[in-house]
Structure 1
Amino acid sequence: MNQNMQPQIELNNGVKIPQLGLGVWKSTIEDAANAVHAALRNGYVLIDTAKQYGNEAGVGKGIQAAIKEDGINRDDIFLTTKIFNGDQGDYDHVRQAFEGQLKALQTDHVDLLLEHWPVDGKYNETWRAMEAILKDGQARAIGVSNFNNERLTDLMDHGTIIPAVNQIEFNPHIHQQKIVDFDRSHGIKLEAWSPLGSGTLLKDPVVNKIAEAHNKSAAQVELRWGLQHGMIELAKTIHEQRMKENMEIFDFELSADEMKEIDELDQEKHSLWYHDFQWNGNPDGIGDYVATPDKW
C-alpha cells in the first residue's frame, strides 16, 4: 500500500499516526535493521522500538538505509521509542538518556515517545521530563505504555499534558476493556502490542473459519479485528513476505457477527511474563540493563 493511503488516527494534539506499524521486540540489532529497511521499502510508515529491546541502533541503521537507498524521507516515517525503566525518575537523567536514544536512532526527534512502564515512585518525574522533551521538539507526541487506570489517573493529576497514547497488550484473547474505556473517555488513543497474541491465535478454529470465508490468513483476520476496534496495531515480524501480508488488511471488512465471534474468544490472560513484572522493576532486576532479545 502506498504510504500516503494508509489509514491514520489523529492524536489529541493533532499529530496523525498510521494505524498499522512494525514492532521490533525480540529482534537483534541486525534483524531490526533489515526488518525496518524492508518494512519502509514495502510501504510501512510506523516503526516502534524501545531502549528496553536493545535494538535502537538497528532501527536507526534501517531507517538510514531506506533514506539513502530508497529515497524515503525522514518526515514520511513515524518513529516511536520508549523511556527505559532504568532511566526513569530523575529529570536530568531522563533528558540525558533520551539524547543517547536519539543518537542511536540517528535522528534529532521521534514522532512518539512513550513511558515504557509506570515504575513506582518514578513515573511522574519521568513524565515531567517527557513534557519538556515534547516542548523542545524532540518528540512530536508523548504517551505511556502498560499503564492501568490508577497510575494513569495519578500521572494526569501530576502532569500538565494528557498522554496521546497508551500502548497495551490487546488481541482477541485479552481486551482490557476497563483500560480501553477509561483511556477513550480522556481522548487517549490505544495502541496494541502483541495484536496476534504471540502467535497463539493463529490456529484458533473460529479465526480460521472466518479467514477461510474471506480468503485471508488468520493473522490478517486478527489484525483486521483490531483495526475495526479502532486500535493502532504493531505487528512484529522480521520476514518481508509476512510484512506484505500484514499490510493487506484494508481491502476487506469483518461483519458484526464475525466481530462478535472473535470478541467471544476473550480470556483476559496476559502474556506469561506480564504478571511477573513488579511496578518497581521485575525479579530479574530490569532497570539496570537493556534486556537482550531472548530475555524479555
Structure 2
Amino acid sequence: MNNKFKITEDNISAVMQFVLLGFSDLPNFQILLFMVFSIIYMVILVGNTLIIIITRLDNELQKPMYFFLQNFSYLEICYVSVILPRILFNLWTQDRSISLLDCATQMCFFLMLGTAECFLLAVMSYDRYVAICSPLHYPVVMNHKMCVQLALGSWVTGIPVQIGQTWQIFSLPFCNSNHIDHFFCDIPPILKLACGDTFVHEVSVYIVVMLVAAIPFMLILASYSKIICTILRLPTAKGRAKAFSTCSSHLLVVVLFFGSGTITYFRPKSNHSAGIDKLLSLFYTVVTPMFNPMIYSFRNKDVMAALKKIILKKVAL
C-alpha cells in the first residue's frame, strides 16, 4: 500500500499525505514562475524590512501610526513566509508532496497570521479615526501603553480560534484523493477532499470568518465613515487633501486584502473553482504584501523624507 494512504477499520483508503498541485498545469513555465516568485519574495522581505528599519531609526516617526505600520510590515513578512518558501520549493524540486502534519501546520499559521492582519488593519483604522476626528485627545487616547495592548491583542486574538478551526478541519476523514488543487493548504481546497457531508464544517468556517474578518471590516467601515464626514467638514481643500492622504494608503490595502479574502471564504464549496481560488488567493497572500511597502512609502511623505535622511547620512559617512 502506498504510504500516502492507509486502510482504516472500515476498509477505507484514508489520506496520509497530500500533493499540492500548485501550478503543475503550466509545465513549461516552472522555471519562469520560480524566478517570478523569488523576485516577489525578495521585494516583500526587503521592502517591509526597510519600513521596519526606517520607522525604528527616525525620531520623527515615533508615532502610533508608524508603530502600527512597523507591526504590519513584520506581520506581512511572517505571513508570506508561511506560503512562498513552500511554493518555491515545489517549483524548484517538482516534489509537491506535503505530509498531513505539515499541511495542518501551514494552514494553522496562515489562518492565525491572517486573523492578526484583519485585526491590525482595524486597529490602524481606529488610530486614524482618533487622529482625525479627535486630534486634541489623540496623544492621551493613543498613548504607548494603549498602542502596545492593541498591537498585542491583534497578534494573539486569533490563535486559539484558528488552532481550534484547524483541528476541526483536519479531524475530517480524507479519502480517495490526496491532490490539493492549490499552491498551499487553504480551507476551501482541503474541504473539497473531505469525505461525506461537510455542511456543518462550512457553517463553522463562515462563523469564524464573520468573527475574525467581517467584524474587523465593519469596524473599519465605521471608522472611515466618521473620518470621511470629518474630512468633508474641513474648511480648506488643502486640509482635506492632507487628511485624506494619511488614510488612502491604508484604505487601499484594506480593499485588496478584504475584497479577495471575502470572495474566497464566503462562497459555498460547490461554487469554488480551483483557478479562481488560486487567483484570489494570490491577492491576499502575495500581491498585498508586495505592494504594502510601495503603498506606504511612495505615498507617504514622512517615510520618504526619513528614507532620504538615512541614505544621505550613510553617504556622508
Shorter-chain TM band:
under 0.3
Structure with the larger RCO, 1 or 2 (CA within 8 Å, 6+ apart): 2
Structure number having the greater helix percentage: 2
Who wins on radius of gyration, i.e. which is larger? 2
The TM-score, its normalising length taken from structure 2, stands at 0.22
Structure number having the greater strand percentage: 1
